Structure 1
Amino acid sequence: MTEEVISKEDFDILLARTGLQKLDARQTEELRSAYKFVEAMKARVRTPRGFDAEPALVFSLPKPGSAK
């Protein structure tokens, strides 16, 4: 049994807001089943992170006058 993250009615409202109302029933259900992944990604992206989460590769410009 598939875990339902969003009801069909609520998902139809989201589709109407985005302009994707011209989808057939199969396409709509496929997108609705993938919605749980969007919610999980949204939770990860909005999580506060410290400086240690930044990439290790950082480009720093030399101070003026220090270049030879």
Structure 2
Amino acid sequence: MTEPTISRQDFDVLLARAGLTLDEKQAEDLRHAYKYVQAMAERVRTPRGREAEPAHIFVFPHEATAG
């Protein structure tokens, strides 16, 4: 298994903040998966234009504008 990206002490602080009570195996499994959470958070924080959310854009059908 690859090394986690967060120390056990720092991860314990995050667990306490979240109010999670995990056994040793659960905590270690989650700590090893934390690097994926970090990567996802970085992708979410990337600035994007409004075109990144197609549900927020309305484009008139071609027939409606040709007239």
Q: CA RMSD in A?
A: 2.1
Separation in 2, partners of 1:57, 1:17: 35
Poorly superposed stretches of 4+, deviation over 3 Å: 56-60
Q: What's the TM-score once normalised by structure 2's chain length?
A: 0.73
Aligned positions, number: 59
Query: What letter corresponds to residue 6 of structure 2 in structure 1?
Result: I
Unaligned runs of 5+ in 1: 61-68
Query: What letter corresponds to residue 49 of structure 1 in structure 2?
Result: R
Unaligned runs of 5+ in 2: 60-67
Q: What's the TM-score once normalised by structure 1's chain length?
A: 0.72
Separation in 2, partners of 1:4, 1:35: 7
